[in-house]
Structure 1
Amino acid sequence: MYLKKAFWSEIKTLDNIHRSNDKSSETPSPSPVTDLVSSLEDQRLYREVTLALRTGLRNARSDFSFLRLHGLRNILKFLRSVAASDSTISLFCHTQSIPALQVVPVLFQHSLQDFEDQIVSNLDHIFSVEPMKIKSHSTDAEVSLALRVLEGCCLLHRESMVLANQFKAVQVLMNILATRGVLEQGACLDALISIMLDSSINQMDFEECNGIEEVALLIRDKQVDENLRMKCGEFLLLLIGHVNGREGSPMAGIHDDIRRLLGEKSASLIWAASQFGSTLDADQRLIALHIQARRVLESLDLY
């Protein structure tokens, strides 16, 4: 669901025009119409945000994968609309303090649930009167979309990182990175970056899971999809740029790990590339990130 512009917002614009054309008042007082329109706008936004979340989460909790996929698509569209303004971001952050509207728990309880937990291990229901409730497994598209939603929630709402940690997010994502396909692996790397930004507890979990080793194995493997290897290079560049210079960081030894796993040449290139680009705009940073990731791949000794 996209957040739409209210039809009464034109009233506010016309009121402002009339007030600016009024020469008789040197210090115009606030217009009652303007106050009314602002109040209606706030109420409308709140209703739209809560409605979008309730509708998307209802489908995302479904036992059927196709309904969960539909709900996740709507939530992702909603997050993109929310990111358009600070007021809607603030409103979304407020809704995430309400348990019934929290997105992250639903992702881990349904779409990102471990495959082993979805396997039917007991057949007693076949010989009993009461039917057993069976839940359809998460498809590749569903897992990938759930990871994109998780990424958006963590980037917009800082507390979602803490909430994700309660569901052992890093361990779940590292399992997806090791067992799923290219589509989910690429989304998984983006989600890992988002949940580790300024989150010491998630960075510690990443260290305990030997995350750098897992990413290094992928980027060094010639048989791995080229786009995924590029994504691994971008992941390392973003990670190094984030933790660089933080001696007290849980990942303070990441430079030594990359030097040991990828070699001195690649490690030096990654470290140097992470020092630049802060003055560039968003599009230029993205282009620079792609270029540097390509250079990292070319620098690796794959023999």
Structure 2
Amino acid sequence: MATPESDQKAPYSATAVGELVTSLNRQRLYREVTLALRTGLREARAEFSFLRVRGLRSILKFLRSVAESDSTINLFCHSQSIPELQVVPVLFQNSLKQYEEDTVANLDHIFGVEPMKISSPSTDAEVALALRVLEGCCLLHRESTIFAHQHKAIEVLMDILSTRGVLEQGACVDALISIMLDSSANQMDFESCDGIEEVAHIIRDKQVDENLRMKCGEFLLLLIGHVNGRERPPLARIHEDVRRLLGEKSASLIWAASQFGSTLDPEQRLTALHIQARRVLESLDLY
């Protein structure tokens, strides 16, 4: 027969067991997170592109699973405080590396004992995957935008936007949004690189893929909507630049359209954004 004392201890025992189970589950999840990152990052650092692509696909799949719950997002964010598990630096040191910087300065490697390490160039698919991973990291972990800034991300991405194919350009626009919206440093870099001019050039070019032009229109709407209302935003000249590059009619439409959607749910906002971007394209005098 239970005594009053044992009745009082029962709730405390149940609480202790529950806390232990929660702690064990958290430890298990963290081990899974670190294992997935270590495995993916090991291949993302490989010398051969096909291995890097496999690693990037693994990391992207992992990020999509992480996004399904707040607890796993928190664990991922915690993992990014550990240098060997940080994803963004690996992207810029490998898949998004600017190979023109690797010009051989001397002939020491020819006469030395150690062979020169040669990595295969990034393929189009690899660059696009790396940009998707960058986008996911910055959306889940805001400090990843700081890592991106440290690796001159805007300069690298603007080079991709102006020189690569449609596949990489589309992923690049999405990545630009994720690394810029909450980062004044990246916004200032974008202004320094004359980023608005490149985006406007794509929007105005009728030979460019229509979906890419739409993405660029959506990018301007999101960016202008984000900086509106700030007293001194980093992109202080953005309205003037858009008016100069796209004309008064389109600039006015972009400014008005960028005010939409604050009371809409996410799906409605996405639909409204797409509609407004279409109107911006239609407003341009392309003749």
TM-score (norm 2): 0.92
Alignment of 1:1-303 (within 5 A): 28-29=11-12, 31=14, 32-117=16-101, 131-303=115-287
Alignment partner of 2:94: what SS?
helix
Deviation track 1:128-152 (CA, whole Å, cap 9, x = no partner) reads 7754321100000000010011111
Q: Distance in 1 between matches of 2:17 and 2:225?
A: 49
Contact 1:258-1:267 at 8 Å conserved across structures: yes
> Could you say which residue in structure 2 is the equivalent of 1:6?
none
Q: Distance in 2 between matches of 1:133 and 1:86?
A: 41
Contact 1:170-1:206 at 8 Å conserved across structures: yes
Alignment partner of 1:111: what SS?
coil
Identity, % of aligned pairs? 79
Structure 2 unpaired stretches of 5+:
1-6
TM-score (norm 1): 0.87
- In the comparison of the two structures, how many residue pairs are matched? 279
Contact 1:118-1:135 at 8 Å conserved across structures: no
Aligned in 2, Cα 1:131/1:52: closer, same or farther, shift over 3 Å?
Answer: same
Q: How far apart are residue 28 of structure 1 and its match?
A: 4.0
Structure 1 unpaired stretches of 5+:
1-23
Q: Distance in 2 between matches of 1:97 and 1:278?
A: 33
Aligned in 2, Cα 1:238/1:33: closer, same or farther, shift over 3 Å?
Answer: same
